[in-house]
Structures are given as C-alpha cells and as structure tokens.
Structure 1
Amino acid sequence: MPQPEKKLDPAQSPQAWFGCELRHRRKQEGLSARQLGHLVQVSDDVILAVEKGRYPSCQQALALQLDTVLDTGGVFARAWPMAFGSDADKKRADADKHDERPVKAPKPVADGRILSRDTSAPLIGSPVPVDRRSFLQASGLAALVPTDLVQLVSPTTPAQQPQTIRAQDIDQVLGIANGISRWDNSFGGGGMVRDVSSRAMQWAAGLLYADCSDVLRPDLFAAVARLGIVVGASAFDALAHDDARRTWRFAAECAEEAGDWHLRAKTYSFLARQAVWVGEPDEGLTHAEKGLVRSDRLTATERAMLHTARARAFAKMKDVQNTLAAVGQADDAFADRNAAEDPLWMAYYDEAQHAGDTAHALFDLAVLAGQDPGKAGQRFALAVQGHDPAFRRSRAISRTKLAALTMAKGDPRQAARIGHDALDEVGRLTSRRAVDDLRQLGRFAGAHPKVQDATDLRERIAATVRA
C-alpha cells in the first residue's frame, strides 16, 4: 500500500518554501516526480528531495530548467539565491566529503555539456575495450530500457553558468545559434536538433540573470534574441507551436531590450508565418505589420521578407487583390536588395528563398481561390533549382509544394515524378512541416484514383508518414 505523502511546511526554511512551491507547480501540471525529472534531466529522487527541502544544493541551472518546463515566469530562478545561493557550494563540498564510495558517474564537463547528454570523459573504472556484444551481455546494458540508458549518461549536476558576462560568453551564444540554424536547415527541427535547441535556450536565458556591464548588455540581449529566433524556428518545424510562439515572444522582448530593429523584424516575420500556418491569417497579418513598423530602419531584404508574410496571410483569406499587391511589394523591395547591408544571418534570404516564400502565397491563391497556378509553379521551380544543399529542408518543401500544385492543377503523372523526388529528400529530414506538406500531396493524389502513378505516390507517402 503506498505511503501517504508527507505534508510540507513552507515556513520551515527557504529550502522548504522552494520545495513546497515545486510540488505545487508539478502537481498543477499533472506530472509525477519521475516525469518532471525526465524533462529536466535529473532523477525523480532529486525532485522529491528538493520538494522535501533535503537536497543539499539545488543548482541555479536546475532552477532555470524548472521555470522553463513548468512555465512559472521565473519563480524558481528568483527564489534560488534566497534558498540555495549563499551556502550551496559549501553544502555540496561537505556532501562530497562524506561519500567515500568510488565515483562511477561521468566527470563534469564545464563547457558545452548543455548541448548533449554525451560526455567526452570516460567513466572512471570503465573496463578496457572488449568485444562489444559480449560486454553488453556481461554488463547487463542490453537489458536496460531506454529511460535507464538516458539516466546513465545524463549529467549528475547541471553545468555552472558564469556569474559575470564576458564577451566570449556572448560569442558562444551566437556560435551556438549559427550551429543550430545550420542543423535545422539541413536536418529539420525534430530529433536531436530539437533537444539541443531547447537546452541551449535554457542556458542562454539563464545568462540574463548574471552580472553584465552596460557596454555588453545590448550585445547579450541581441545574442539571446538571435538564439531565440532559431530555437523558435526549430520548434515550429517540429510543430511544437506553443513552444515556438513563447520562444519568439521572448526573443522579441530581448530584441527590443537590445534596440535591434533587424532582430525584431525577423521575430515578427516568424510569428506571422506561424499564425498563417495554424489557420490564423488575421493574426499573421498583424504580426507582419508590426514587423514593418519603422520600415525605414530595415534593409530592403527584410522588407521583402515581411511583405511576403503579408502576402501569405492575405492568400489564406482568399483575398486575391491584396495578395498580388503584397507579392508585388515584396518583389519591388527584393529588387532593391543590397546583401552587404543585411545582417549576416539574413544571408539565407536569397533569390531561391524569395521565390519559394512568394510561391507559397500564390499556391494558396491557385488552390483556394481558383487563380492561375502558373506563376506559383514557376517560382517553386526556381526555388528548387536555386536552393543550396545546406538548405535541404527548404528545397524539399518547395519541391513537395510544386508536386502538390501540379497534382491539383496539372498533369498527375508529372506531379508523381516530382513527388517521388521530394520524398527522397524529405525522408532524410526530421521536419514535421515537410511531412505535413507530404500529407497534402497525398490528399491531392487521392483525387486521381485511376492514375496508377498517383496511386503509387500516395501509397509511398502513406508508408513514409507512418515510418
């Protein structure tokens, strides 16, 4: 019979208040201690010990993770200095002294560990390399379930964040943002990219609590905004819409704090695209127009990007006139583009990207409002031809939309050939957006039951989506 849960007294100590609040928030979210521990990468024993006020040193990074997972608005980060900040290091050192057992956990790695569950340091006392199969059998690793394996390689304590921000800390945030952006474009926003992105965002948000000079402060907020943009994009690609929206709004606030109009515009562009995607084109239009506030401070490329977002919103509303006008404004702005004026991270918005983004608006006009599909088809073809291999996802999505447009408005056999090429590319991605576009192509193919090529494509799409 399960033991009754111990009643907590928040007035007993700052640690007890912290633990009582954690239990309240956890139960409010309907999470068990094990489930919450898995989300923040600690054991359920740690969660329960913190709740009972018995954990010797809840690390600040764990407090930040709890805030993020439980969406507290920063309650635990603000309470951490009172509950643990003054003597946490001393308590941890004392606890270590009293434990004379051999250490069997991975050595802590100070830099970069938030990006992976791996550790470059070998386990102390690990056997000399032997035959892998016999080692697995002898050690019992083969019998462990995946959750056990995750716990086995998870850090026992979160990495320490800097107390004072230096220029190299800001450079690290920007470097990680650039890396995630590359991975996201190459592989999609799911899988490991999603996991890495979430951890990096938690780390970067924690830097805002550290001491920072007035000189570095705008750069810090700009770097965190930049990371927030790419992390939100990764969540969007995984169709984690609430996470994406929350991260972009946070990024917009950071961009405002930094006084960076370019980052602000990019954030609102993404918010607009997501709103259109989830069927809220009016909200998408509002976001796009917010991004265009003080457009004189934006580059021509950024104006083209935001007018394209307006076009996509109008198209979902089946507003032909305003869609075509917005596409024209986007084209005019892009014609004035001077890449040397753009921030480095805007380099992705080249001819292929512009063609593909405007083609999405024209696609909706063709499918939803019966307009000529020719212009959309031409632009999707330009995007497919022009996208660099580094932007595999964008190329795959444009190819899929071209196949869907051809299937709906043209020759289904030609559409099937294009669709198979798109499937070859999408199969190497973890993009749920790309998969969603495949489903649309499959539905269009279903309108041609007597065309064997279309039927074959539909069956292959179904098999791919199930896999």
Structure 2
Amino acid sequence: MATAQLKWASALLECRCPEKIRPQLFAAAARLGMVVGATDFDAYAHDDARRVFAFAAACAEEAGEWHLRAKIYSFRARQAIWLGDADTGLTHAELGLARSDRLTATEHAMLHTARARAYAKLGDTAAALKAIGQADDAFAHCDPAADPPWMAYYDEAQHQGDTGHALYDLALAGDHQPAAVERFDTAVKLHTDAYVRSRAMSRTKLAALHMAVGDPHEAVAMGALALSDVGQMRSRRAADGLRELATLGYRYRAIPEVTELRERIKETINA
C-alpha cells in the first residue's frame, strides 16, 4: 500500500503546478519516501529501500529542504552500515552534513553519531571516539523547539543508544569500551513505552555486550527483558540482534540459564 502511494505521489511530480507550491509538492514526496524507505529497510527489502531513499533525497534537494535531506541521508548511512558497507555509510553521513549551518544541533548529533558508527565498523577507534565527542557536543546544544517534527524521536535515550552502538562495535573488536555499558543502560532506563522497539534493541545490545565481555548472568537477565519487548513487535532488525546475542552465548552453553535464554530466543524468532 505504501509503495502504491509513493508511485502515485511520484507521478504528481510530472504534473504542471504553480511554481509557488512546487517546492511543497517535492517536500511532501520526500517525506513520504523517507517513511516508505525506512519501512522497506526494516522489512529487509534493501534494494527497494535504496531506490526509495535515493528518490526521497533527490526530492528533498529539489525542494531545498535541508532538514529532510539530512534525515534521509542519516537513513541511507544507517542502512549501508547495517549491510556491512561502512565506507558508503560514512559517505552518506558526510553528505548529510552538507550546509551544516542550516541544520539544527540535534541533526548534527544524529549525523555525527552515524559517522561514529561507520568509523567503528571500519576499525578506526580514534576517529570513532572523536565523532562521538562531536555528537555529544552537538547534543548538549539541542533545542527541540528548533527541530522539525520527524526529529522528535532523537532524545537523550536515542542519543545514548546510538552512540552506544558505535562503542559496542569497538568493544566487540577487542577495544574495551566501558562507556558502552553506561550508554546502553541509560538508553534503556530513559526509553518510554512509546519507543519499545528502540528500548528492545538497546537492551539486546547491552545483553550481548555483557555476554561478550564475560558476564553471562547479567546478559541473561537483560536478555530476558529484551525478549519481553521484542515479543510485542515484528522487526527483522530486532530479531537479528537477538540472533547475535544467542550466538555470543554459545560459549556459555554449559550454563543452564544461558541455554534457556538461547532456546527462548529461538522460539521468539520462529514464532
């Protein structure tokens, strides 16, 4: 249904219309494309997501909508990083920061966080930590009243969770980052029920981090809470996080609680 609406909207762009409303038309198409692309991304329709995000970015640029453009490039960066193409992800994040003077502090924080996650995947610890510092500095100056409505999600909980993801990748690569635990813990505590999916993913990463650094009992406790959240939704990305947790738990399979958690993960994913 969403794809059909997007095709209908894209057809409107070929119609003649007064010049004064043309930017608004392209902006509306860009925002619709952003939502459809994000849905495709979460459904793992990655080729569709790439095409839709590219379309949405072009529409935002045609409309001169820098805020929309920044958010779309953030999505493009996150998708590329998720798919293992951190270099392209970094490029998208950098492109999102074009004309940074027109972006809000929250948008700066979001895009610097994407840069940090890309650098972490690339194994560049120094650059990742520097980007996290830039994201923190930007977030300290956030003014929600200045942000467009689609940025309302990027609050303290989201920022702590997203930067925690970058530190998580560094930790799994062998560069111990105690701050990763602190950031995920803060994200979990601050996320409300309105953001169950984000809370579930932060809890899953926190559990996986405990499992990776040798604290399986704490990992089981946090993993059980993550399962409660994931059971309320259908998200392939959330499910993949649980699979990673189960894989990390394999070396502790002699511990009954870990084995039970791994079985519960299997049942939840296959349900």
Smaller-chain TM-score range?
A: over 0.9
Q: Residues of 1 paired with 2:124 and 2:104: CA distance?
A: 27
* Structure 2 counterpart of 1:61: none
1:460 Cα deviation after fit: 1.0
- Please say if 1:464 is aligned against 2:271: no
* Structure 2 counterpart of 1:408: 212
Q: Residues of 2 paired with 1:345 and 1:279: CA distance?
A: 26
Q: Residues of 1 paired with 2:146 and 2:68: CA distance?
A: 14
Alignment equivalent of 2:180, drawn from 376, 381, 393:
376
- Please say if 1:423 is aligned against 2:248: no
Question: How many residue pairs get matched?
Answer: 271
- Summarize deviations over 1:17-64 as a string: whole Å, max 9, x none: xxxxxxxxxxxxxxxxxxxxxxxxxxxxxxxxxxxxxxxxxxxxxxxx
Q: Residues of 1 paired with 2:23 and 2:214: CA distance?
A: 52
Give runs of aligned pairs for residues 186-205 of structure 1, distance below 5 A: 196-205=1-10
1:410 Cα deviation after fit: 3.7
Q: CA RMSD in A?
A: 1.2
Alignment equivalent of 1:447, drawn from 248, 251, 264:
251
Give runs of aligned pairs for residues 192-341 of structure 1, distance below 5 A: 196-341=1-146
1:447 Cα deviation after fit: 1.4
1:284 Cα deviation after fit: 0.6
- Summarize deviations over 1:177-221 as a string: whole Å, max 9, x none: xxxxxxxxxxxxxxxxxxx43233223223223332211111111
- Summarize deviations over 1:310-368 as a string: whole Å, max 9, x none: 00000001111000000000000111111111111111111111111100000000001
Structure 2 gaps of 5+ residues are none
Counterpart amino acid of residue 50 in structure 2? R
Query: CA, structure 1 residues 430+200, in 2 after alignment: closer, same or farther (shift >3 Å)?
Result: farther
1:254 Cα deviation after fit: 0.3
Counterpart amino acid of residue 426 in structure 1? V
- Summarize deviations over 1:390-423 as a string: whole Å, max 9, x none: 2111111111111111111142111111111111
Give the secondary-structure state (helix, strand or coil) at the position aligned to 2:110.
helix
Give the secondary-structure state (helix, strand or coil) at the position aligned to 1:400.
helix
Overall identity of the aligned pairs, in %: 60
Give runs of aligned pairs for residues 145-184 of structure 1, distance below 5 A: none
Q: Residues of 2 paired with 1:206 and 1:297: CA distance?
A: 30
* Structure 2 counterpart of 1:73: none
TM-score normalised by L of structure 2: 0.97
Give the secondary-structure state (helix, strand or coil) at the position aligned to 1:211.
coil
Q: Residues of 2 paired with 1:234 and 1:258: CA distance?
A: 23
Higher helix share: 2
Alignment check: 8 A CA contact 1:362 1:373 kept? yes
- RCO comparison, higher one (Cα < 8 Å, 6+): 2
Alignment check: 8 A CA contact 1:265 1:292 kept? yes
- Summarize deviations over 1:94-130 as a string: whole Å, max 9, x none: xxxxxxxxxxxxxxxxxxxxxxxxxxxxxxxxxxxxx
Larger Rg: 1
Give the secondary-structure state (helix, strand or coil) at the position aligned to 1:446.
helix
TM-score normalised by L of structure 1: 0.57
Structure 1 gaps of 5+ residues are 1-195
Alignment check: 8 A CA contact 1:197 1:234 kept? no
Q: Residues of 2 paired with 1:427 and 1:203: CA distance?
A: 35
Give the secondary-structure state (helix, strand or coil) at the position aligned to 1:286.
helix
* Structure 2 counterpart of 1:436: 240
Alignment equivalent of 2:190, drawn from 386, 389, 393:
386
Q: Residues of 1 paired with 2:76 and 2:95: CA distance?
A: 10
1:262 Cα deviation after fit: 0.8
Counterpart amino acid of residue 259 in structure 1? G
Counterpart amino acid of residue 449 in structure 1? R
